[in-house]
Chain A
Amino acid sequence: MEKLKYDKPVISRITAGVPSKFGLPSKQKIISEIDGIPVSRLIEEYGSPLFVFSEKTIRNTIAEAKQAFETRYPKVQFAWSYKTNYLDAICNIFHDEGAWAEVVSGFEFEKALSLGVNGSQIIYNGPEKSEEDLELAINNDAYIHIDHFDELYLLMKITKKLNKKARVAIRVNMDTGIYPMWDRFGFNYENGEAWNAINRIMLAGNLELTGLHTHIGTYIMAPSAYAIAATKMANLFVATNRKFNHWMKYIDLGGGFASKNPLKGAYMPGSETCPSFDEYAEHISNAIISSEIPHENLPALFLETGRALIDDAGYLLTTVLANKRSSTGRRYLVIDAGVNILFTSFWYNLGIFPSKPVSDYMEETTIYGPLCMNIDVIRDVVNFPHVKSGDQLVIERIGAYNVTQWMQFITYRPNVILTDTEGNIKIIRKKESMETFKNSENKNI
């Protein structure tokens, strides 16, 4: 008989037996493998902490999103939001699934070009675009989404200089009934600035107004907000045709779809409250189709969904470093992944789970990262079973933003691997080493 696992004695609320008013005792979820590959094997081979992306999940998610929109609207085009995750391998999967590139900086633009994306399939957003960046975009026939009048004037100047037409759209911000209202990007709809910008572009010689863009916010839980946005965009779309006899080609509703991660402070788990792609698609499609736009002139619908497409496909594998007790008796757990590589832990109560069966006893625990910084808290409080140092844990739904907003701090950033659809494992970003730094630093000043 196998030796029974030793559990430290603790005092806890009785949860066994008849259901209490809190329901039945909860069963601890375990993530022991990713796409059929054991977590222990992954850590053994590629180290800890370790970012793991599942190609299968990515492809399934985008298929689900595409289906939700394409079965409701005749022309749908997804553009992969580079800032959400611009690892080459990840971008390539999205491009393979037919997505364009949505970039917000010269760096991302170059990255998209280097991945072989055709310039005319790049959407260039963002408030900061230098003269060089804009020239690059114009020469590659990209779609430039203008954020403010100064950018518009700069574009007029550059196109005159290059004597080349630029494809442009304007970013519109508006009141869609959600709080907070995002009005710092683009031109406002309600005060007439957006209409003003459209007029200026239509009268400018070298600019071709191809579409309208909006990004109403992030983690939008109310699909109806998108319907309001779509309706307002359709109004501008029709008004432009009425005045200039010009049908633009697309309406871009940006991103902002919620992922299943629970926001901090949310009462219900994200998986319960997060609207499905179907709900977003239903509201958006209905709003555009039932607008004044005649059906033969319906614009293409562009979506720059990032978070909702990639969050579920990413996992962070981590190892328990230590168990501690606080001064108040609260249990502390220290793991080897810190907030420097897990940026989203500032926004979400991330799901963190053991990778093998553990004891049924749960205790309120605070989970800390390995940094010697007070802010390095992964979870403030979580009902967590007892684990020992060396045990491996899995943090789920971390695919979005972490591998772009991470920072290198006191140690190297870890390996990022991909489990492909055939069950193979590929390193898609190598762990940093001293070489990484030596190559870019100069000690001889």
Chain B
Amino acid sequence: MILITNKGKDILFSILNSYSQVFFSTSKTLALFLVVISFFDYGAGIGGLLAVIVANSFAWGLGFNKYLLNSGMYGFNALLTGLGVGLFYQPSPEVYILIAISALTCFIFTVVFQGVLGKYGLPYLSVPFLITIWIVALSSNSLSALNLSERGIFFYNELYSLGGNTFINFYELLEANIKSSFIRIYFHSLGAIFFQTNIFAGIIIAAGILIYSRITFVLSILGYTTAFFFYKFAGIEFDSLGYTFIGFNYILTAIALGGYYLVPGRVSIGWTILLLPAVVLITISSRQIFMLFKISPYSLPFNVIVLTFLYALKLREQRPRNLIETPVQMGKPETNLYLYSRNIKRFPAAFPVSAILPFYGEWTVSQAHNGEYTHKGAWRHAWDFIITDANKNQFKNSGDLPEDYYCFGKSVLAPADGEIAGVVDNIRDNTIGDVNTKDNWGNTVIIKHNDYLFSKLSHLKFQSVKVKPGNKVKKGQIIALCGNSGRSPYPHLHFQFQSKPYVGSGTIDYPLGQFLVRGNKGYILKSFDYPVKDEILANPPINEVLEKALHFIPGRRIKISVETESSKIKWKKMAGVYHWNVDTDIYNNTFISCEEHNGRAYLYNNGDMHYFTNFSGKKYSPLFWFFIMLYKVPLGFLPKSRIIDSLPVNHLFGGILKILQDFAAPFYLFLNADYQLTIIDGGDIISSGNVNMHTQVTKKIAGKKIKLCVSKLNINQQGDFNISIETKEAKIRMICQNELE
């Protein structure tokens, strides 16, 4: 029974998602709205539905990806084709056969473009639809068995057939009250995406979008408004916009670039505004060409601009700080924004190589990125390191000899796994104060980490390099000693990332994977960050207790006993015994799932750090609180060290506040949820004791702090968690024990 219902659900979802996918969504509500308006013209409605079913059936029957099928990725282009063809001809069996054939053609184009564009990491948007609809449109003159549709001309007749007089009166009312051509054309344009000529369809679509995503709604208006003003500005006749249904190009471009394929934000929106005039120009110019063939360019301008711009962004050499391509598509701009805006670093896609500091012990940054001495121009993304003593001196005795300097002769380590790409080892160390500008980099080791990421360590000690080009090195392996060769007036270690394997190559902006910064009280652990001048840094040693406890291997089963103390029923209901399983999905995402609550907490562990990346399920469940409390936990650290992160606000806020935030989100986040983890008792250097940590989650509304909860975590040698959480409303005690070894 369950199997059958699951299958039914799959089929239904794959159809519905094909509708909402036109707006890059998998919202079922939006889909229902769209299905309804597609049937305003029943011929087109049936055509669309038929096309979706045909395309999805082929996708299923030929064994294409189930996940993509379910999320409507194979159906939405066929849907558009079906709608377009269905609208063009009078309903007849011949037309539906034509639609089925076009849907199949479109599906095959979909698969082909998925393959071709996918290689470049690009979406296929509505390119398959474009090609199919042009094929049909260009051959329409010869298809004499089919009659051109006369609907649309007699729109009131259709309305009447749908809903009688009430419908017509309501429509009249709308028509009478929306006088502004600005608003009318907006609704027309939205409706035009589903080949609807009436304003009513546009209004329903707008409502559907608003319910699904506030950001998408804001973007649709923004895209439209920008284009509208550009038309005015350039003196282009605007009515033609409404007439040819081309307005939707601007709306779709704004949604795609402003919030879907890029993480929404001020910069992505700024770029959208900059690009929209180009879309307008392509629209107008392409129309001139397509007019020759008596066909419409449809969504060509949208496809051209989005694809070219996304492709251009991928060719950036420097790691972007803004205009970030959505790492893993969460399917909704709000979710993408809350998840990625402030902690893009926590996703492996962002930084494939996690580098450590290339030395033992505590060193000081004497020159950081954009330094005042030599880290300028093309070489600005580099660091210089020295060792200083308690009195901030970098040498003992008189400092006249290189040996007086604490860093001189100390081991230099490989910052990450790699292959030695270049070695210079025969330049003598300078006397103190002198510089060698001829061989300015001095003795140097260059390590290749991947095709575009090399690290360079320079000013090494004369004949101290212990590796040869071609050698494979492991992270942390000793490769040389710190020296004073090249343009180095006193001993220090120069460290930079570059994209080429040459000694003189310019630097690239790439962060260090993980490091501790010494503060007044203990250390702060930073990940994928940039050390700054005068910071004292060290590598965190890996703690075996944490390494073991936070290693969630698929198949691990955890038993959770929860006790709660609260007056509220929602908390009381959390008490009990639960079972969690660790599993992976087909995309290699590891998650913990709760058998009782059906929740999922997605996680990621890069060997240095455990991250929870996302959560789905009930908020009043132990897994949710486990997700919050262990949001980011380092596997290595020193006692008294701290880690700071921010939690995605959609998990911690709800109601009107969140809806308001959704509207404002691309511009300003007034809701914040700060996460702080403090290591109280770090086990120890040989990991023989239990680990004790405190977490604190602080919600902030426009800067005003509200303490949400504090918790104490204890992790023992067996990898069991003992967590006590205290919120304003409840006290929760969770004991998580491994069930299987």
Contact = CB atoms under 8 A, between A and B. Distances in A.
Contact of B688 (A98, A120, A282): A120
Interface string A290-301: 000001100010
Identify which of A120, A141, A282, A289 gathers the most chain B CB atoms within 10 Å of its CB. A120
A60 B686 contact: no
Contacts of B684: 77, 100, 120-121
Contact of A250 (B389, B474, B686): B686
Contacts, number: 71
B389 A72 contact: no
Interface in B397-414: 406-407, 409-411
B371 interface: no
A75 B387 contact: no
A73 interface: yes
Given A70-B360, A120-B689, A63 B410 contact: no
Given A71-B360, A167-B688, A210-B686, A295 B476 contact: yes
B364 to A, nearest CB: 11
Contact of B689 (A70, A74, A118): A118
Interface in B337-375: 359-363
Contacts of B362: 67, 70-71
Residue of B389, B477, B686 with highest tally of chain A CB at under 10 A: B686
A35 interface: no
A121 to B, nearest CB: 6
A249 interface: yes
Nearest to A60: B390
Contacts of A67: 361-362, 387, 389, 406
Given A121-B689, A141-B688, A295-B476, A71 B389 contact: no
A75 B389 contact: no
A287 B685 CA distance: 20
A77 B639 CA distance: 13
A289 B474 contact: no
B55 interface: no
A63 B478 contact: no
A76 B538 CA distance: 13
Interface in A91-131: 98, 100, 118, 120-121
A409 to B, nearest CB: 39
Interface string A136-168: 000001010000000000000000000000010
A337 B359 CA distance: 48
B123 interface: no
- The secondary structure that dominates the A interface is mixed
A121 B639 CA distance: 13
A224 to B, nearest CB: 17
Contact of A74 (B360, B390, B407): B360
A73 B359 CA distance: 9
Choose among B361, B407, B474, B478 the residue with the greatest number of A CB atoms under 10 Å from its CB. Answer: B361
A139 to B, nearest CB: 14
Contacts of B686: 75, 77, 210, 249-250, 300
B312 to A, nearest CB: 42
A62 to B, nearest CB: 10
B390 A71 contact: no
A279 to B, nearest CB: 11
Nearest to B390: A63
Contacts of B331: none
B506 interface: no
> Which of B359, B360, B474 has its CB near the most chain A CB atoms (within 10 A)?
B360
Contact of A72 (B363, B411, B539, B681): B411
A157 to B, nearest CB: 24
Contacts of B406: 67, 71
A76 B684 CA distance: 11
B541 interface: yes
A336 interface: no
A270 to B, nearest CB: 18
B360 to A, nearest CB: 5
B384 to A, nearest CB: 16
A71 B478 contact: no
Contacts of B541: 74-75
A67 B364 CA distance: 12
User: Looking at chain A, what size class is its interface with the partner chain?
Assistant: 20 to 34
Contacts of A63: 389-390
Contacts of B363: 71
B410 A75 contact: no
A64 interface: yes
Contacts of A121: 684, 688-689
A72 B410 contact: yes
Nearest to B476: A295
A71 B360 CA distance: 5
B398 to A, nearest CB: 15
Contacts of A249: 686, 688
B360 A295 contact: no
B689 A73 contact: no
Contacts of A141: 688-689
A353 B639 CA distance: 42
Contact of B478 (A120, A289, A296): A289
Of A71, A75, A141, A249, most buried by chain B (CB within 10 Å of CB) is A71
Nearest to B544: A249
Interface in A224-272: 249-250
Contacts of B409: 282
Contacts of B474: 295-296
B693 to A, nearest CB: 16
Contacts of B539: 74
A444 B539 CA distance: 64
Interface in B659-699: 681, 684-686, 688-689
Contacts of A69: 361
Interface in B515-538: 538
B492 to A, nearest CB: 13
A67 B405 CA distance: 13
Nearest to A143: B688
Nearest to A70: B361
B387 A74 contact: no
A296 B689 contact: no
A71 B387 contact: yes
B360 A73 contact: yes
B554 to A, nearest CB: 25
Q: Which of A73, A76, A143, A295 has the most CB of B within 10 A?
A: A295
Nearest to A64: B389
A122 to B, nearest CB: 11
A296 B476 contact: yes
Given A121-B689, A167-B688, A249-B686, A71 B359 contact: yes
Nearest to A119: B689
Interface string A268-289: 0000000000000010000001
A117 to B, nearest CB: 11
Interface string A34-60: 000000000000000000000000011
A251 to B, nearest CB: 11
Contacts of A70: 360-362, 538
B360 A64 contact: no
Nearest to B688: A120
A121 B686 CA distance: 10
A71 B689 contact: no
Given A71-B362, A72-B360, A74-B476, A300 B685 contact: yes
Contacts of A289: 411, 478
Nearest to B640: A98
Interface string B308-345: 00000000000000000000000000000000000000
A74 B689 CA distance: 20
Q: What are the 8 tightest A-B residue pairs by CB atom distance, in nearest-first order?
A: A71-B361, A70-B361, A249-B686, A120-B689, A120-B688, A63-B390, A77-B685, A300-B685
6 contacts: A75-B541, A118-B689, A120-B688, A141-B688, A295-B474, A300-B686
Given A64-B390, A74-B541, A167-B688, 11 more contacts: A59-B390, A67-B362, A67-B389, A71-B410, A72-B410, A75-B686, A76-B685, A77-B686, A121-B689, A295-B477, A296-B474
